Structure 1
Amino acid sequence: MRITATLMLLAMACIFVASKQVLDLHPAWGFVNAFAEAAMVGGLADWFAVTALFRHPLGLPIPHTAIIPKNKDRIADTMADFLRTNFLTPAVVARRMQGMNVAGAAGDFLVDPAAEADGGTRSRITGGAAELFAEVLESLDPNRLGTQVRSGLASQFAKIDVAPLVGRMLENAIADSRHLPLMDGVIRWTGLTLEDNEETVREIISQRANSVLRWTGLDERIATSVLDGLYRLLAEVLVDPDHELRGKIQEGMEKLAHDLQHDAETRERVEDLKREMLENPAVAEWWMGVWERIRLSLIRRARDPESALGDEMRKGLAELGNALQQDQRLQMQVNRFARRTGVGVATRYGAQIVQLVSETVRRWDATTVTDRVEGAVGRDLQFIRINGTIVGGLVGMTIHTLDILI
């Protein structure tokens, strides 16, 4: 457009020179000559005006030219003041955000299928979030973090009165007969443990028997009888749901459930056991090992594009989007939070934002300011020159017409 405006000015100069040579041939050439002469004046005047805004015309230090570079600090302060007055006041921010449905817009984005396509925005968000999650876990001191997590869990667990909780759980399990599979498992476990330690049991019986029994070999028969009796008893208890020993075990469990809730001595013993467990170094070492395995597993899953973690994050984002679209109460809460956050940012950081704008513009050199402002205005600057050329020509032709008539 700058080239077009300049060529137009040169064309008017050529027409002016050419028409000057043929003025005597016909009166119409006078109008052409007047138009070209005034168009040159208008084009040159507007070229000077446009150029004077941004630089010195022809490099000459004419007063009141290069206006924008000379006043860039004042422009920076004016821009900052305009931003502060019209945009970053709490009242303006609150009013602007009153009609905004931030939650609905976020929900539309999260459920948009295009955002889920390969390389889509949501996929990039998911990948970036997973990588950020992995880097955070890697950057933190695993021992210190594990200790902090363990201390937090321990402090919360220490506040819980475990005995009544366990007592109610056991009482409810007995009432719903959910303790029977546990009882059967304990009986089977007892039988397997006894089978694995048969030799130890025989040795204990042999050591307790006197020398006469060992000499006669009766200690082996006694041990075999004891083991057979125990196996038979366990089998009967396991098979017979009405066995007397089952009743005794259930009575013991019911008493334990009652004592855990109501007996102060039993509750104190459980609390002592809990404290000993929390203070045991072996438990702390075990937890650190568990935590490290969890941490490494999370890092590995976060960086594996084929892992389920990415799918879970995508599903979670989609579910969040549906909730933001459909749940009016959630929308209201999110929009209120966004509005309060925006007002809070304007109140707390508005002055810093305005100062940042002002200082940034002040730091620009004259060339940068000129190029950015001129580029922002763009083609319209050259249209000023073109319009000035045309309007000047029309005015010149009008004056020439009036001169002939008068």
Structure 2
Amino acid sequence: MTAPLPASRFSAAQPGAAGMKAAATGLLVVMAVVFFGARAFEASYPWLAWVKAFAEAGMVGGLADWFAVTALFRHPLGLPIPHTAIIPRNKDRIGDSLANFLKDNFLVAPVVARRMRNIDLAGAAGKFLQAPQGQETRIRQGASRLIADLFESLDDERLGGLVKGAISTRLRNAEVSPLLGHALASAINEDRHVPMLEAAIRWIARALDANEELIRDMVKKRTNWILKLAGVDTRLSDSILDGLRKLSADMHTDPAHPVRVRIEQALADLANDLQTKPETREKVEQLKLDLLENRSVGLWIDTLWQKGREAIIRAARNPDAAMAGKLGDVLKSMGQSLENDPRMRRAINQFARRAVAGMAASYGGSIVKLVSETVRRWDARTITDRLENAVGRDLQYIRINGTLVGGTVGLLLHAADTL
């Protein structure tokens, strides 16, 4: 059961409602005093009959409206009179009605789309991105502060787990083999693989120089003692090293070298197998799953999340820095495009309308359920206090008007009876 909200929540409304309640009650008391006074002196002053008629009818009207207003929120005088304390007894039905009102008038996809038709989100985003550095708007300040506070206040471990889980799930569900094959084929067709291939050839040459003694030692260990006496192991090592160096040099200088051509053909075959060969795709997918199970990959994803979170907080705390440099130029260029390109603005606004309407269609029922269940969890005192403080001032005006209107009607009836 939800406890009533603190009194400070309604401190702005309570004095006005309390003052009007005192005024309405005071007017009712005045009518009673006038009525009894006029009745006491009516025999000596016949004209007081008119005053008595006004006060009597005003007193009746004031009492009737007091009863009606009080019956909305509680039992008058604490008596369990039928059809009183209407709001506390029907709070669940009120919550359901309010929820259905929201659903029927605000959370229906066509209604949302129609209301958003005249909202230019793309234009607003364009102006927002073009705001000069150091002169950010109140919206940017508020949005930046909200984003920073949100990321700092949320449970880092739980939120990080959600993000990492989402990344891991997306990677598991995504078939990377065709993507890798397509990327490799595109690189080969556009000769973007050539710098990497030449870098690999240069690396092989440097590796030969760095491991010359290791190669010589391997040849020496595999040569029998007779050949060693003849110095064949040394000449064999020199021949192997010279041949490998010449091979790497020729491959580096000759794009049509047979070995280089075979490597490129092997890469092309791999690109094709990644896209079309089931067994190759299965091996790559299994390798992907093995990598995702590796603890080092999990730590790497965790590091990505932490760095991304820190970067978002830094940018939100200092929007001027985030809008500076190349990133700021890119964002400002995007803002100009959004503001000056009608076709792009229409496309983005249409996408936003469809997205919000889709959210209303998908989650409108959940929002309605949330409103209904929230009202159901409130205790009778909470909902009574909230509604009474929201409309109490106007209800006391009803009491005052009832007293004055009742008095006027009583005066007219007395006039009709007399004349």
Give TM-score scaled by structure 1 length.
0.63
Q: CA separation in 2, counterparts of 1:85 and 1:170?
A: 57
Partner of 1:295: 301
Partner of 2:209: 191
Residue 381, structure 1, aligned to residue 385, structure 2: no
Letter in 1 for 2:150: G
Following superposition of structure 1 onto structure 2, how do residues 353-392 of structure 1 map, counting pairs within 5 Å? 370-392=384-406
Q: CA deviation at 1:377?
A: 2.5
Residue 99, structure 1, aligned to residue 122, structure 2: no
Q: CA separation in 1, counterparts of 2:226 and 2:350?
A: 83
The 1:211–1:20 alpha-carbon spacing in structure 2 relative to 1, beyond 3 Å, is: closer
Following superposition of structure 1 onto structure 2, how do residues 293-372 of structure 1 map, counting pairs within 5 Å? 293-301=299-307, 307-311=310-314, 315=322, 319=331, 322=335, 326=339, 328-347=342-361, 370-372=384-386
Q: CA separation in 1, counterparts of 2:304 and 2:89?
A: 58
Residue 5, structure 1, aligned to residue 24, structure 2: yes
Q: Any conservation in 1 of the 2:27–2:400 contact (CA below 8 Å)?
A: yes
Q: CA deviation at 1:300?
A: 3.9
Following superposition of structure 1 onto structure 2, how do residues 209-220 of structure 1 map, counting pairs within 5 Å? none
**Residue from 209, 217, 221 that aligns with 1:200:** 217
Partner of 1:46: 65
The 1:52–1:209 alpha-carbon spacing in structure 2 relative to 1, beyond 3 Å, is: same
The 1:202–1:156 alpha-carbon spacing in structure 2 relative to 1, beyond 3 Å, is: closer
Q: Any conservation in 2 of the 1:150–1:284 contact (CA below 8 Å)?
A: no
Q: CA deviation at 1:383?
A: 0.5
Q: CA separation in 1, counterparts of 2:65 and 2:408?
A: 15
The 1:389–1:156 alpha-carbon spacing in structure 2 relative to 1, beyond 3 Å, is: same
| 3-state SS of 1:98 partner | coil
Letter in 2 for 1:5: A
Q: CA separation in 2, counterparts of 1:339 and 1:245?
A: 60
Following superposition of structure 1 onto structure 2, how do residues 1-400 of structure 1 map, counting pairs within 5 Å? 1-23=20-42, 31-62=50-81, 64-68=83-87, 79=98, 82-83=101-102, 85-104=104-123, 113-114=137-138, 117=141, 120-126=142-148, 128-129=150-151, 135-138=158-161, 149=171, 155-156=177-178, 159-160=181-182, 165-166=187-188, 169=191, 187-194=205-212, 197=214, 200=217, 249-251=252-254, 254-256=257-259, 258-259=261-262, 288=294, 290-301=296-307, 307-311=310-314, 315=322, 319=331, 322=335, 326=339, 328-347=342-361, 370-398=384-412
Q: Which moved more, 1:62-71 or 1:267-276?
A: 267-276
The 1:186–1:167 alpha-carbon spacing in structure 2 relative to 1, beyond 3 Å, is: farther
Q: CA deviation at 1:5?
A: 1.1
Q: Any conservation in 2 of the 1:39–1:390 contact (CA below 8 Å)?
A: yes
Q: Which moved more, 1:372-381 or 1:361-370?
A: 361-370
Give TM-score scaled by structure 2 length.
0.62
Q: Unaligned stretches of 5+ in structure 1? A: 238-243
The 1:191–1:392 alpha-carbon spacing in structure 2 relative to 1, beyond 3 Å, is: same
Q: CA separation in 2, counterparts of 1:399 and 1:201?
A: 127
Q: Any conservation in 1 of the 2:24–2:400 contact (CA below 8 Å)?
A: yes
Letter in 1 for 2:62: G
Q: CA deviation at 1:90?
A: 4.1
Q: What root-mean-square deviation, in Å, do the aligned CA atoms of Structure 1 and Structure 2 show?
A: 5.6
Partner of 1:241: none
Q: CA separation in 2, counterparts of 1:155 and 1:96?
A: 45
| 3-state SS of 2:116 partner | helix
Q: Unaligned stretches of 5+ in structure 2? A: 1-19
The 1:39–1:312 alpha-carbon spacing in structure 2 relative to 1, beyond 3 Å, is: closer
Letter in 2 for 1:292: G
Q: CA separation in 2, counterparts of 1:151 and 1:64?
A: 60
Q: CA deviation at 1:296?
A: 3.4
Q: Which moved more, 1:31-40 or 1:156-165?
A: 156-165
